[in-house]
Amino acid sequence: MRQPLVAGNWKMNGTRQSVAELLAGLKSGVGQVTTAEMAVCAPAIFIPMTEEALTGSAISWGGQDVSVHESGAYTGEISGGMLKDFGCKYAIIGHSERRTYHGESDELVAEKFEAALNAGLVPIFCVGETLEEREQGVTEAVVARQVDAVINRGGVEMLGKGVIAYEPVWAIGTGKTASPEQAQEVHAFIRSRVAGHSQAVADGIQILYGGSMNPGNAAQLLAKADIDGGLIGGASLKAADFLAIGIAANA
């Protein structure tokens, strides 16, 4: 039985005050979430205050990216060890915004996956097709290529130590959600692809859906057999909305 995970991706949003309010709201309401694990992936500068607020709570936290390097002359980068030092459990890896705006290749993302694991973090590994790719009918080929890059680097056992997030790029921040059926189809494909290497890893790995998930559509998405939670952008910035998604996963 896979535990649902509802993880927030705050992206580059927040102020000291808004983050303090958000964290306080999450802490006071998380008791209503009975089944899912809740986590927030904060901008690096807010991680210390996130750690301070959430230590001892039921909510985990993480970063939004990780360097492939452990330390050294890499201006602007944050290492997995630094995230771990501030209590992070998770690191988002290969988000489409990093693939698009920072030119991250499948191979670099796989290297980051391994770097996160080596630092003791759980990678939340994002895959997903663009609208153009969906219209060309190559969704499965794109997602397979992205998943295979991690398997090729470290084997299916390495992949199994992370969490996969299927995030159709056309659904991120657009208000357009994949229908539960569209999402389930790709989730089942990803799981079968992993099963081709190891049925045990396929059975155990959490596959989250991400792309305009909100309190209004979460329950239907989360009801699907292969959707094990959500990676939430916009709706994770409001405590009530984010918690409502967690509550939608209550057994």
Give CA–CA dist 204/91, Å, rounded: 19
Q: Which is nearer to ligand PEP, 47 or 232 (CB)?
A: 232
3-state SS class at 34: coil
Under the criterion CB under 6 A, does residue 211 sit at the interface with ligand PEP? Answer: yes
Q: CB of 195: closest distance to ligand PEP in angstroms? A: 25
Interface with ligand PEP, residue 63, by CB under 6 A: no
H or E stretch covering 193: helix 180-195
Q: Is 228 in the site for ligand PEP (CB under 6 A)?
A: no
> DSSP letter string over 100-118?
HHS---HHHHHHHHHHHHH
Residue 167 engages ligand PEP in binding (rule: CB under 6 A): yes
Instruction: Judge whether 95 counts as a catalytic residue.
Output: yes
Pick the closest to residue 228 from 210, 201, 244 (CA basis): 210
Stretch that binds ligand PEP, among 16-24, 46-54, 219-227, 233-241 (CB under 6 A): 233-241
Q: Which residue is nearest to ligand PEP (CB)?
A: 233
Tell me: does residue 233 bind ligand PEP (CB under 6 A).
Answer: yes
42 close to 50: Cβ distance less than 8 angstroms: yes
Residue 231 interacts with ligand PEP (CB under 6 A)?
yes
Task: Note the helical H segments in 40-179.
Answer: 47-54, 80-85, 96-101, 106-118, 131-135, 139-159
Catalytic hit among 104, 111, 114, 167 = 167
Point out which residues bind ligand PEP (CB under 6 A): 9, 167, 172-173, 210-213, 231-235
- Active-site positions read 95, 167
